[in-house]
Chains A and B, each alone.
Chain A
Amino acid sequence: MTTAQLERDLRALAEVIDWPETADLVPGVAGDLVRRPAAAGRATTPWLPRLRPVLVASVVTIALAATVLVVSPGARSAVASWFGIGGVQVERQEEAPTPAASGRAVPPPAATLENGLGVPVTLAQAREFVDFDVRVLDLRADLNRTGGGVYFDQSVEGGMVHIVYHVQAGLPSTDSKGVGALLTQFQGGDEPTFTKEVVRGQDVQFLEFDGGVAMWVTGRSHLLLRNAAGEPLRHTARLSANALVWVDRRGVTYRLETALDPDAAMELAETLK
């Protein structure tokens, strides 16, 4: 038997090995980052059981001491597609992406928040346009008229719904004048539909929320919409705010941007109905 034949046989063997089924470790890894803050994450730390998000029915809010990741420029290219929650993928870059860097002509960010969100619709219309149940926060808003704060964005497969809430009691203003919260929701699968580009120095924390794990991304960020093939579509205007990202049991991805702290943001997110 020649070496080439033996190599071929070994590769053929790899094809017929009874490999164990691949476990989805994303919830477990994220859960462990919640449960074991980095400072305590030594080799001697007892191993904690993998998190089983779907088994936890009630909303749990904890973990302000969650892992804080200070982004390293050295990790820039390495962590593309490294971690995601639902349809949102975290990538870390030293600088915010530019149209040139994205490899194709991309319009600059919209001048105002609303200009970048899609077509203004009523809440009833938005619910007709998408296959998932559009949920709303328990906040004062006039969502039943066009221009009341609901936007339908069809640039991604399946559609995306944005709801803008204006400043009100308990909801401070973000950098976008008069805007207190931006709630984005879409049916996200395993593949990220859009990417939150996290620039150098930003923090990503993992929080236990809604029976699973949420990402808490702080500071100025840049968001890039991608199509199903992963190609950049356009930059979208977003608040320079903190974002809570999570997925519910039906696979709908939510992204809530506010000027709130994580506790308050989760408390607000719990009002979704």
Chain B
Amino acid sequence: MRRHQAVAQRAAWLITGSSEDAADATQEGFVKAWRALDRFRDDAEFRPWLLRIVVNTARNRRRSAWRFDALRVRAAAAAAAEMTPTPEVAAVAHDEHDALVAALRRLSKKDREVVACRYLLDLSEAETGEVLGCPRGTVKSRLSRALDRLRAELDAVHPAAAGGVS
């Protein structure tokens, strides 16, 4: 269980925006999963099955899910980035991370959830599909459209960010 609780709580946190709600939703989801194990298909992957239960539980707690209200860049990461290569470059990178977060918040909920699963939680396309309840092909097309819209948001607000953060 400890193997999966970090990614599960992160997913729930992205949905609820509250660490306390995320822990509660994850715990509730794990209990549901434990009780539903007899319905688990032997040929399925366990992690996305578990995450889907947690995600659905978290969604039920928050009508406005995946808002990214609490999403912030770590202060420690910003401080570390300032060490290299130059403070100026690091500051730009930090600003662009913030711009990316702001652009993510302006996406639709359907775009936010597929981007969050695939990139912020680092799930595979197949896992993302299992978690969101859609086929892998649908994940690919949704991701493609979401990235187009994200790029448009970045370009519209901050053309300089088109050069990338990394």
Residue numbers of A with Cβ under 8 A of B are 1, 3, 5-26, 28-29, 32-33, 36, 38, 41, 47, 50, 67, 69-70, 72-79, 81-84, 190
Shortest C-beta distance, A22 to chain B (Å), equals: 4
List 6 A-B pairs, minimum CB-CB distance, nearest first.
Answer: A20-B19, A10-B119, A72-B38, A16-B77, A78-B46, A75-B37
Q: Does B82 contact A (CB under 8 A)?
A: no
A47 touches B166 (CB 8 A): no
Shortest C-beta distance, A156 to chain B (Å), equals: 19
Query: With A9-B100, A25-B9, A76-B42 given, can you name 17 additional A-B contacts, CB distance below 8 Å?
Result: A10-B100, A12-B165, A12-B166, A13-B101, A13-B119, A13-B120, A18-B75, A18-B77, A20-B9, A21-B19, A24-B5, A32-B27, A67-B35, A75-B40, A78-B44, A82-B34, A83-B1
Q: Which residues of B contact A32 (CB under 8 A)?
A: 27-28, 31
Partner pick for B151 among A1, A28, A77, CB 8 A cutoff: A1
- Residue ID in chain B nearest A73 by CB atoms: B42
Partner pick for A25 among B23, B121, B163, CB 8 A cutoff: B23
B42 touches A13 (CB 8 A): no
Q: A6-B151, A84-B1 are in contact. Are A50 and B42 (CB under 8 A)?
A: no
B6 touches A22 (CB 8 A): yes
Shortest C-beta distance, B101 to chain A (Å), equals: 7
What is the bound-complex CA distance between A19 and B3, given in angstroms? 17
Q: Does B88 contact A (CB under 8 A)?
A: no
Q: DSSP class of B's interface residues: helix, strand, loop or mixed?
A: helix
B74 touches A16 (CB 8 A): yes
- Residue ID in chain A nearest B32 by CB atoms: A41
What is the bound-complex CA distance between A184 and B131, given in angstroms? 41
Q: A83-B1, A83-B34, A84-B1 are in contact. Are A23 and B73 (CB under 8 A)?
A: no
A9 touches B75 (CB 8 A): no
What is the bound-complex CA distance between A74 and B122, given in angstroms? 27
* 21 pairs of residues in contact across A and B, judged by CB atoms under 8 Å: A1-B162, A3-B147, A6-B147, A6-B151, A9-B96, A10-B115, A13-B101, A13-B165, A14-B120, A14-B121, A17-B71, A18-B73, A20-B22, A23-B5, A33-B31, A69-B37, A74-B39, A78-B46, A81-B1, A82-B1, A84-B1
What is the bound-complex CA distance between A26 and B120, given in angstroms? 24
What is the bound-complex CA distance between A6 and B78, given in angstroms? 20
What is the bound-complex CA distance between A22 and B119, given in angstroms? 19
A47 touches B100 (CB 8 A): no
Partner pick for B5 among A1, A25, A78, CB 8 A cutoff: A25
Q: Does B150 contact A (CB under 8 A)?
A: yes
B37 touches A72 (CB 8 A): yes
Q: Which residues of A contact B13 (CB under 8 A)?
A: 19-20
